[in-house]
Structure 1
Amino acid sequence: MQILHRQIFRELLKLFGLTVSCLLGLILIGRMLQLRSLFLSQDIGFFNILQLFFYLTPFFLLLITPIATMLSVFLTFLRMSTDNELTALKANGVSLYKMLPAPLAFCTLCTLFTLFISSWGLAWGMDMFKTKLYQFARTHSKFALQPGVFNKEFPGITFYAHQVDNEKGELKFAFVRDESIKGTSVVVVAPEAQIESTAATAEIRITFKNGNIFRKSGEELNILKFGTYAIRLDLGKLLMGFNFNEDKAKDMPLSRLSAIRSDHNEAPGRGDRFYRKVNTEYFKRITLPIGCLVLGMFAIPIASAFRGLKQQYGLLLSMGLFLVYYTMFSVGVSMGESGAIPPAYGLWAPNFVYIFVALIGMRYANKERMPTFVHWLMHLRFNKRASA
Structure 2
Amino acid sequence: MKKIHLLILKAFIRPFFVTFFIVMFVLLMLFLFKYIDDLIGKGFEWYIILELMMYASATNVAMALPLAILLSSIMTFGSLGENYELVAIKSAGVSLSRAMYPMVIVVALLSITAFMFSDYMLPVANLKYYSLLYDARQQKSTNLLPEGIFSSNFPGYSIRVRKKDPDGQRLYDMMIYEKNQSTGNNSVVFAKEGSMYRTPDDSFLVLKLKNGIRYEETNGDKGFNPRQRLTRLRFKETEQKFDLSNLKFKRTSESEFKSAYQMMNIKQLAQTRKIAEHGLDSALRTEFQVFRPYVKYFAVPYQRKLHQIGYNIDKGVLSSFKPTERLGAVNVALGEARALKDLLDSKVEREKDTSRGIRSMIVEYQRKFTLSAACLVLFLIGAPLGAIIRKGGLGLPVVVSVAFFLIYHIISTIGEKSAKDGHIPPAIGMWIAIVVLTPLGIFLTYKAATDSAIFDVDIYKKVFLKLIEKKSKIFGSSDAASA
Aligned letter for 2:86? L
Alignment of 1:121-160 (within 5 A): 121-130=121-130, 142=142, 144-151=144-151, 160=159
- Residues 367 and 119 (structure 1 numbering): CA distance in 2 closer, same or farther, change over 3 Å? same
1:216 paired residue number: none
CA distance in 2, matches of 1:17, 1:187: 66
Aligned letter for 1:253? N
Tell me, yes or no, if structure 1 residue 91 matches structure 2 residue 91: yes
1:354 paired residue number: 437
- Residues 195 and 235 (structure 1 numbering): CA distance in 2 closer, same or farther, change over 3 Å? farther
Q: Give the superposition deviation at 1:335.
A: 0.8
Q: Give the superposition deviation at 1:329.
A: 0.7
- Residues 121 and 140 (structure 1 numbering): CA distance in 2 closer, same or farther, change over 3 Å? farther
Tell me, yes or no, if structure 1 residue 379 matches structure 2 residue 460: yes
Aligned letter for 2:435? F
Aligned length: 362
CA distance in 1, matches of 2:58, 2:217: 51
Aligned letter for 1:316? V
Equivalent residue of 1:234, what SS? helix
2:355 paired residue number: 272
So what's the TM-score if we normalise by structure 2?
A: 0.61
Query: Could you give the per-residue CA deviations for residues 158-211 of structure 1, whole angstroms, max 9, x where no partner exists?
Result: 95524477648999323589xxxxxxxx997633699998997989999xx865
Q: Give the superposition deviation at 1:77.
A: 0.7
Q: Give the superposition deviation at 1:32.
A: 3.4
Structure 2: stretches of 5+ with no match in the other structure: 208-213, 219-227, 234-239, 281-349, 465-483
1:190 alignment partner, one of 160, 172, 188: 188
- Residues 84 and 158 (structure 1 numbering): CA distance in 2 closer, same or farther, change over 3 Å? farther
- Residues 309 and 275 (structure 1 numbering): CA distance in 2 closer, same or farther, change over 3 Å? same
CA distance in 2, matches of 1:152, 1:282: 44
- Residues 51 and 357 (structure 1 numbering): CA distance in 2 closer, same or farther, change over 3 Å? same
1:50 paired residue number: 50
Query: Could you give the per-residue CA deviations for residues 35-58 of structure 1, whole angstroms, max 9, x where no partner exists?
Result: 543133322244532221012221
Query: Could you give the per-residue CA deviations for residues 274-314 of structure 1, whole angstroms, max 9, x where no partner exists?
Result: 33222222212320221001111121222222235775112
Aligned letter for 2:176? A
Tell me, yes or no, if structure 1 residue 252 matches structure 2 residue 250: no
Tell me, yes or no, if structure 1 residue 39 matches structure 2 residue 50: no
Query: Could you give the per-residue CA deviations for residues 237-296 of structure 1, whole angstroms, max 9, x where no partner exists?
Result: 8999x9983543223334322322232279998643333222222212320221001111
1:172 paired residue number: 174
Alignment of 1:10-49 (within 5 A): 10-49=10-49
State which structure, 1 or 2, has the greater radius of gyration over its C-alpha atoms: 2
Q: Give the superposition deviation at 1:117.
A: 2.3
CA distance in 2, matches of 1:264, 1:198: 53
Report if the CA contact (8 A) 1:210-1:225 is conserved.
yes
2:275 alignment partner, one of 245, 263, 266: 263
So what's the TM-score if we normalise by structure 1?
A: 0.74
Report if the CA contact (8 A) 1:294-1:351 is conserved.
yes
Equivalent residue of 1:173, what SS? strand
CA distance in 1, matches of 2:200, 2:39: 15
Aligned letter for 1:89? I
- Residues 102 and 58 (structure 1 numbering): CA distance in 2 closer, same or farther, change over 3 Å? same
CA distance in 2, matches of 1:357, 1:61: 24
Structure 1: stretches of 5+ with no match in the other structure: 178-185, 214-222, 384-388
RMSD: 4.7
